[in-house]
Amino acid sequence: MLLQNRTTPRTASAAQAFASDAEEGPLAQGREFVWTDGDFTRIKALIYKKAGISLHDGKHAMVYSRVSRRLRDTGHESFKTYLDALEQHDGPEWQEFINALTTNLTAFFREQHHFTILDELLRSQRTQAWRIWCSAASTGEEPYSIAMTATEALGTSGSFHLVNSDIDTKVLATAARGVYKSDGVKGLSTERLQRFFMRGKGDNAGLMRVKPELQKHMEFLSVNLIHELPFREPFDVVFCRNVMIYFDAMTQRQVLERIHRVMKPGGMLFVGHAENFSDARNLFVLRGKTVYERI
């Protein structure tokens, strides 16, 4: 038994070297591609520079999963060659890279209290021509919730224009189409479904399309919040919900300053339930649960 378990120093060293080589390969990692801390650090720096998104170390698995899809689609065999190509060309792949790393969690009338407050605000000045900006439109559930609320509050003679933006061009295209699976609109009342949606028939069975009467008030465009905003006319209401949580403190402040510049004094800013801007009291003052007034 002792002879069977004995390994010479040279044999042990070779075995260790072989094991080390195997552990460094993608199969030993349980992954299709080799993934290193250096790859993550590089991606982290690039997405921060391009979109202001701050990734913490707990996002390794998420980043690997999402960016590896870009490697498959572009034919790259490693993160290094993909990132090298990305940095060497200012082309459309940058947008695909950003799209891959944005998070799009949304639902119709999510955080219902905001829509109750919006309804009351709009009803208080029904003759006003309202300008509203939804700055993280995602796949459209939030913009259409805003539009339904505005239509109900202002009536058929009411005037509002709703600008909807997102940095992710793919989800923004879905929002602009306004077509959803029937399961995705289950939370809406029968009255709202009848008033604002058309039910698909034939090949479109199981789908619901937003009616043109609602979409006529809406505009969709790609906007990166860490760049200067492209708006000339100020907004009365801005929805910027669950966006700031992806930025560090410095980027949050810069984005808030940009939003402040495109809002009317007294305009209302709606933010996510986990967001607090008490350090920006010279820009916004808290007026309700996650609702701020522009100073």
Catalytic residue among 31, 66, 177, 258: 66
How far is CA 176 from each of CA 113, 212, 257, 269, rounded to the nearest angstrom? 25, 11, 28, 23
Q: How far apart are CA 196 and CA 39, in angstroms?
A: 46
Tell me the chain's radius of gyration from C-alpha atoms: 25
Number of CB atoms found within 10 A of residue 146's CB = 26
In one-letter notation, the amino acid at residue 152 is E
8 A C-beta contact, residue 236 and residue 264: yes
Which parts of 28-167 are beta strand (E)? 129-134, 159-166
Collect all residues with Cβ–Cβ distance below 8 Å to 160 and sequence separation of at least 6.
122, 129, 130, 131, 132, 147, 150, 154, 217
Contacts of 132 (CB under 8 A, 6+ apart): 146, 150, 160, 161, 162, 163, 235, 236, 237, 238, 239
The catalytic residue among 39, 70, 131, 166 is: 166
Residue 66 appears among annotated catalytic residues: yes
Residue 253 phi, psi dihedral angles, 5° rounding? -60, -45
Rounded distance, CA 178 to CA 180, Å?
7
Q: Which residues pair with 284 in a beta bridge?
A: 294
Q: How far apart are CA 282 and CA 241, in angstroms?
A: 20
Cite the active site residues.
Answer: 66, 166
